[in-house]
Amino acid sequence: MLIEYDGGPFHGWQRQAGGQPTVQGVIEAALARLEAGPHTIAAAGRTDSGVHATGQVAHCDLIKAWDPDRLAGAINAHTRGWPVSVLRIVRVADDFHARFSALERRYLFRMVSRRAEVTHDAGHVWQVPHRLDVEAMRAGAAYLIGKHDFTTFRALHCQAASPVKTLDAIGISEHPYPSGLEVRFTLRARSFLHNQVRSIVGTLDRVGAGAWAPERVGEALAACDRSACGPVSPPDGLYMTGVGYPLDPFG
């Protein structure tokens, strides 16, 4: 399943024991109305509360030989009222796993520099009131490319076995925005630590605001100390945009 959703009303992707609304829970409930369950769907990435997706990928096992397009339509009919939509469904081999078969994850973070409150994009961007030095942020981001111990940039309760990750790319681009500027961060890696993207963006914001010199990002990384990190950005501007596999199931 290729899925998009607005993370605002959800307590993240993963189903929770307390019954709070989650993307996984809403889709599994829809499947239970279509075919006797229970059903468990596995996603390429477990996005946090408030984080959005335009290209989340998940898989599930079903007994009935559903037509993929009809199944997508039926799921969407039963999730109506929630800001989640199954864009496409395809059949895959039995050994495919949305999470473990993935070779890379791609994320977008949208930041808007503007004094007047955003209206149409409220809840979908991180708004900051200060000007941003984009070139300085690019210089700071350069320290993070490659294979590193990212202890500084992961949540204290992160459950990953190792803090060592390889960040393949960080792109930072400028886009016109009414009475302001939108800055977009695109990040690509095989996998990310919990809160890694939001920690990176929050730290680079300090550079863009002039509070940090770019080289301080490298010093924070080398410290391998969570307290050396800048503030963690809010989830509003974060989107999971795609997942890469050895063979694109939707190609």
Total count of residues recorded for the chain: 251
CA angle 14, 198, 233 (to 5 degrees): 110
What is the predicted pLDDT for the residue at 111? Answer: 98
Has residue 158 been placed in a domain?
yes
CB 90 within 8 A of CB 249: yes
**Residue 111 shares a structural domain with residue 234:** yes
What is the Cα–Cα distance from 195 to 47, expressed in whole angstroms? 10
Give Cα 228 to chain centroid, integer Å. 23
The per-residue pLDDT for range 32-47, each reduced to its tens digit, is 999 987 889 999 999 9
Mean pLDDT taken over the chain: 97
CB 87 within 8 A of CB 2: yes
The catalytic residue positions are 48
**Residue 109 shares a structural domain with residue 95:** no
- Domain with 232 in it: 104-243
The per-residue pLDDT for range 49-91, each reduced to its tens digit, is 999 999 999 999 999 999 999 999 999 999 999 999 999 999 9
Residue 16 has pLDDT above 90, yes or no: no
**Looking at residues 212-217, what average pLDDT do you find?**
98
The per-residue pLDDT for range 133-181, each reduced to its tens digit, is 999 999 999 999 999 999 999 999 999 999 999 999 999 999 999 999 9
Which of 100, 125, 150 delimits the end of a domain?
100
What is the predicted pLDDT for the residue at 103? Answer: 98
Instruction: Check which CATH number belongs to the domain holding 11 and give it.
Output: 3.30.70.580
**Residue 43 shares a structural domain with residue 13:** yes
Per the confidence metrics, is the pTM higher than 0.85?
yes
3-state secondary structure of 143: helix
Percentage of the chain exceeding pLDDT 90? 96
The total of structural domains in the chain comes to: 2
Which of 74, 100, 126 delimits the end of a domain?
100
Which of 100, 127, 143 delimits the end of a domain?
100
The per-residue pLDDT for range 96-132, each reduced to its tens digit, is 999 999 999 999 999 999 999 999 999 999 999 999 9
**Residue 187 shares a structural domain with residue 203:** yes
**Which of 242, 215, 196, 234 minimizes the C-alpha distance to 111?**
234
